[in-house]
Amino acid sequence: MSLLLFTIKRLALMIPVLLFLTAVIFILNSVSPIDPARAVLGNAASDEQVEELREEMGLNDPLPTQYVDYLQGILEGDLGTSARLAQPVTEGLTEAFPNTLELAAVALVLTVVFGTLMGLATAGGWRGAKILRAIMVSGASAPTFLLGIAGILIFFSALDWLPASGTTSYDNAPDGPTGFLLVDSLIAGEPAIWWDGFKHIIMPAIAIALIPAVAVGRTLRSSLITALGSDYVRTARSKGLTERQILVRHGLRNAVGPPLSMLGLQSGLMLSGVVVVELVFAWPGIGLYAAQAIPVADFPVIAGVALVIGVAYVVINAIVDVLQAIADPRIRL
């Protein structure tokens, strides 16, 4: 099977998963005590006005009809209205999601870097590998929120090296064209703002990345040890290649499949970790957006955030499967 055909087939498998996800969220939304019509009009509206709007919104239709309308609304970018802010949920997500995506992207890069370094160092017996492994495993044994709080106490309160909240200290920080501060500040030619944004994002990103990095590093180590015992590695040794050359050139390519699978599984933990970490660091993303909606039972916001996180998880796993097929063509068969 060609890579293109495999990719198309894998993307097609996303459709039933996404439909099931939307069905679950729709059912939860249907049993929510929040009346969407009342949320739009406010508490001052009369019952007649609310009932009229319910009829216009199709809330009195049979559930199957409402579900079809709900799917159509999702495709059109309509996720309902926040009961707390009286604001379209899509608008709130549009404002918050770039910050979450930037934080998740930095955390993903750190996960790959830390996990690869841990796997290579421990499998290759590099100097200091045991110390590195002990530090990472010890850190990963703590809950994500505790890592964030510990980071604030050490690097903000005690050492005053890093800021404790927000995305930047600058009021005039660029907010376009990408919506990612680290990218936009470089485009605008503002290295000071970039450095300030980096200092704000590095601590929450590490708190998110540490646990997945240890899982990826352990999986990579096991795969590398298996690969280093294969025939082609013995042939490479007979040619006089150093252990480091064998590890990087021959072992890593053939051992990357299981770590990629683990990275896909850990992406769900990373996304859930983003929600918690954003609350700890007051990071203005969808995690903080959802956390502020939970105490007041603002279900449209909660459902919208759950949908975005669920779609992101499905898409990430699809990308991981395609990357595995690129790394190991046998998967396409």
- pLDDT of amino acid 204: 92
- Cβ atoms of residues 271 and 309 within 8 Å: yes
Q: Which residues, at least 6 apart from 45, have a Cβ–Cβ distance to it below 8 Å?
A: 38
Residue 106 neighbours by CB distance under 10 Å: 20
- Cβ atoms of residues 206 and 108 within 8 Å: no
All domains in the chain, ordered by first residue: 36-82 (no CATH), 102-285 (1.10.3720)
Predicted confidence (pLDDT) per residue in 180-205, tens digit: 889 989 998 889 999 999 999 999 99
- Report how far residue 172's alpha carbon sits from residue 261's, in angstroms, rounded to the nearest whole number: 41
Cα angle: 291, vertex 269, 202; to 5 degrees? 75
Task: Estimate to the nearest angstrom the gap between the alpha carbon of 251 and the chain centroid.
Answer: 29
For residues 163-177, average pLDDT: 85
User: What are the residues facing 88 on neighbouring strands?
Assistant: 81
For residues 146-173, average pLDDT: 88
- pLDDT of amino acid 198: 93
For residues 36-62, average pLDDT: 74
Dig out the tokens for 116 from the structure.
């690869």
- Report how far residue 1's alpha carbon sits from residue 332's, in angstroms, rounded to the nearest whole number: 6
Q: What is the DSSP letter of 59?
A: T
Three-state secondary structure string covering 62-123: CHHHHHHHHHHHHHCCCCCECCCCCCEHHHHHHHHHHHHHHHHHHHHHHHHHHHHHHHHHHH
- Amino acid in position 177: P
Does the structure show a pLDDT above 70 at 162?
A: yes
- Report how far residue 283's alpha carbon sits from residue 208's, in angstroms, rounded to the nearest whole number: 13
Predicted confidence (pLDDT) per residue in 199-239, tens digit: 999 999 998 888 888 888 888 888 887 777 777 777 777 77
Q: What percent of the chain has pLDDT over 70?
A: 89
- pLDDT of amino acid 1: 65
- Cβ atoms of residues 154 and 202 within 8 Å: no
Does the structure show a pLDDT above 80 at 71?
A: yes
Average pLDDT of the chain, as a whole number: 81
Axis crossing angle, helix 89-124 with helix 286-293, rounded to the nearest 10: 120
Predicted model pTM:
0.78
Q: What percent of the chain has pLDDT over 90?
A: 7
Predicted confidence (pLDDT) per residue in 73-122, tens digit: 888 888 877 777 778 888 888 888 888 889 988 998 998 898 888 887 87
- pLDDT of amino acid 194: 93
Residue 269 or 206, more confident: 206
Residue 26 neighbours by CB distance under 10 Å: 18
Residue 88 dihedral angles phi and psi, to the nearest 5°: -55, 135
- Cβ atoms of residues 70 and 57 within 8 Å: no
Does the structure show a pLDDT above 70 at 156?
A: yes
Secondary structure (3-state) at 329: helix
- Report how far residue 144's alpha carbon sits from residue 146's, in angstroms, rounded to the nearest whole number: 5
Closest to 36 in 3D by CA, of 50, 19, 18: 50
Predicted confidence (pLDDT) per residue in 108-123, tens digit: 899 889 888 888 787 7
